[in-house]
């Protein structure tokens, strides 16, 4: 998404990546695909070929994100390096990276020439540390779902259910969400909807009434239609830097119900629910309101318009192109209309 958004704004891009994302497909013409995993006896010849190709490409800036293979650090020597950082710290113990990953990448990553973050929340956290504020750049987060694959907007009167999407781990705040949902089902506002959990993980509290858990990995191709037809997307996390699920839901025109953790309120459109992390009553009221299709009609349009205005790939591409141009310029590289990343 970032590569093609940058290309649409006149940048030349070479992408070196691995097919480890659920949405991975065949490599594009600007893309080199490696194994991406630290298996010492494998991938050396493709890696050396990619490194030579990257040197010929002669980038103005190297952007790194989610590296697993220590060999890939060599790409960071080719130009000023900008790291993309989504979280200043793990949401909970389940998000803590393995020891070997921290050993090879934690200090190295922190020595990047610049850091690109996706929320005011992470920017403030980094600014309180040792990193110079002028080396931190803020960019909006766009959705991982290609706009060409977005399903048709679903009318409010055809929508059912509330979805809780993603890795089902403690930071998802199941106890509070389940308490609010159980109260909703037993109240007068319930319209026969279910709470649907999508994704792998570990859910400790027992599932409340009218709840089902669709376990296992999923792709956007499989679940985008299901989410687009939901009345609401619950992102009531205990900890969050920002949320890809929140942005994806807005892209599909699905109202989001978020907690006040991290940057969730920053991404939330005016008129959509923001309640305290432990506020069962507030979340219940928000769910009750969206049980009514008339409220869904209002909030779904707010969600879609907000995404198109602030978080679409085109908007993010323009901002990211500007940021990378600034980083290149600080290293006495010409900031021109055809920079190479």
Query: Do 36 and 18 meet the contact criterion of CB atoms below 8 Å apart?
Result: yes
Distant-in-sequence, close-in-space partners of 252: CB < 8 Å, separation ≥ 6: 145, 150, 151, 153, 224, 227, 228, 304
Do 155 and 113 reside in the same domain of the chain? no
CA atoms 125, 128, 131, 135: torsion sign: positive
Distance, in Å, from the CA atom of 298 to the CA atom of 156, rounded to the nearest integer, reads: 9
Is 335 a domain residue? no
Is 336 a domain residue? no
Mean pLDDT of the chain: 90
Is 337 a domain residue? no
Q: Which tops the pLDDT comparison, 90 or 219?
A: 219
Do 270 and 214 reside in the same domain of the chain? yes
Judged against a pLDDT cut of 80, whether residue 130 lies above it is answered with no
Is 120 a domain residue? yes
Distant-in-sequence, close-in-space partners of 53: CB < 8 Å, separation ≥ 6: 14, 32
| Mean of pLDDT values over 315-341 | 78
Do 206 and 61 reside in the same domain of the chain? no
Do 317 and 306 reside in the same domain of the chain? no
**pLDDT for residue 105:** 77
Cα torsion at 176, 180, 185, 186 (round to 10°)?
110
Band (pLDDT 50/70/90 cuts) for residue 198 is very high
Do 75 and 159 reside in the same domain of the chain? no
Do 25 and 104 reside in the same domain of the chain? yes
Do 137 and 168 reside in the same domain of the chain? no
**pLDDT for residue 262:** 92
Judged against a pLDDT cut of 50, whether residue 54 lies above it is answered with yes
| Mean of pLDDT values over 111-121 | 93
**pLDDT for residue 333:** 40
Specify the number of domains making up the chain. Answer: 2
Reported as a single tens digit per residue, the pLDDT across 139-184 is: 999 998 999 999 999 999 999 999 999 989 999 999 999 999 999 9
| Mean of pLDDT values over 229-236 | 98
Do 235 and 292 reside in the same domain of the chain? yes
| Mean of pLDDT values over 239-247 | 91
Q: What is the CA radius of gyration of the chain?
A: 21
Which CATH number is 263's domain given? Answer: 3.40.50.2000
Do 113 and 233 reside in the same domain of the chain? no
Is 221 a domain residue? yes
Overall pTM surpassing 0.85 (yes/no):
yes
Do 254 and 130 reside in the same domain of the chain? no
Q: Which tops the pLDDT comparison, 89 or 254?
A: 254
Do 117 and 163 reside in the same domain of the chain? no
Band (pLDDT 50/70/90 cuts) for residue 93 is low
Judged against a pLDDT cut of 90, whether residue 107 lies above it is answered with no
Residue 161's nearest CA partner among 140, 185, 126 is: 185
Judged against a pLDDT cut of 60, whether residue 338 lies above it is answered with no
Distance, in Å, from the CA atom of 115 to the CA atom of 36, rounded to the nearest integer, reads: 22
Paired residues of 259 in beta bridges: 275
**pLDDT for residue 160:** 97
Reported as a single tens digit per residue, the pLDDT across 57-72 is: 999 999 999 888 889 9
Distance, in Å, from the CA atom of 260 to the CA atom of 266, rounded to the nearest integer, reads: 9
| Mean of pLDDT values over 77-105 | 77
Judged against a pLDDT cut of 80, whether residue 96 lies above it is answered with no
Residue 244's nearest CA partner among 199, 208, 205 is: 199
Band (pLDDT 50/70/90 cuts) for residue 336 is very low
Query: Could you list the residue range(s) of the whole structural domain that residue 138 is in?
Result: 2-142+312-330
| Mean of pLDDT values over 183-211 | 95
Do 129 and 158 reside in the same domain of the chain? no
Is 49 a domain residue? yes
Is 339 a domain residue? no
Judged against a pLDDT cut of 90, whether residue 23 lies above it is answered with no
């Amino acid at each position: 998404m970032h590569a093609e958004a940058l290309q649409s704004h006149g940048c030349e891009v070479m992408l070196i990546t691995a097919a480890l994302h659920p949405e991975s497909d065949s490599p594009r013409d600007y893309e080199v695909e490696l194994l991406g995993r630290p298996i010492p006896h494998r991938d050396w010849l493709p890696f050396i070929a990619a490194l030579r190709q990257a040197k010929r490409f002669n980038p103005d800036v190297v952007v790194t994100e989610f590296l697993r293979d220590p060999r890939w650090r060599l790409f960071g020597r080719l130009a000023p390096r900008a790291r993309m950082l989504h979280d200043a710290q793990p949401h909970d113990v389940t998000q803590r990276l393995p020891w070997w990953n921290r050993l090879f990448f934690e200090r190295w990553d922190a020595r990047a020439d610049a850091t690109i973050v996706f929320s005011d929340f992470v920017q403030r956290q980094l600014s309180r540390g040792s990193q110079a504020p002028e080396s931190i750049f803020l960019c909006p987060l766009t959705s991982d779902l290609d706009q060409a694959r977005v399903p048709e907007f679903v009318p409010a009167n055809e929508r059912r259910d509330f979805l809780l999407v993603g890795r089902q781990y403690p930071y998802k705040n199941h106890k509070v969400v389940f308490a609010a949902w159980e109260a909703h089902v037993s109240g007068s506002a319930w319209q026969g909807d279910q709470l649907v959990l999508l994704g792998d993980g570990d859910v400790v509290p027992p599932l409340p009434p009218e709840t089902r858990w669709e376990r296992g990995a999923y792709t956007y191709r499989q679940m985008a239609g299901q989410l687009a037809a939901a009345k609401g997307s619950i992102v009531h996390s205990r900890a969050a830097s920002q949320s890809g699920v929140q942005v994806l839901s807005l892209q599909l025109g699905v109202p989001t119900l978020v907690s006040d953790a991290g940057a969730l309120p920053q991404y939330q459109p005016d008129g959509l629910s923001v309640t305290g992390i432990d506020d069962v009553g507030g979340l219940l009221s928000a769910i009750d309101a969206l049980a009514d299709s008339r409220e869904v009609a209002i909030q779904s349009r707010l969600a879609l318009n907000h995404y198109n205005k602030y978080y679409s790939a085109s908007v993010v591409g323009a901002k990211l192109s500007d940021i990378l141009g600034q980083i290149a310029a600080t290293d006495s590289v010409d900031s021109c209309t055809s920079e190479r990343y």
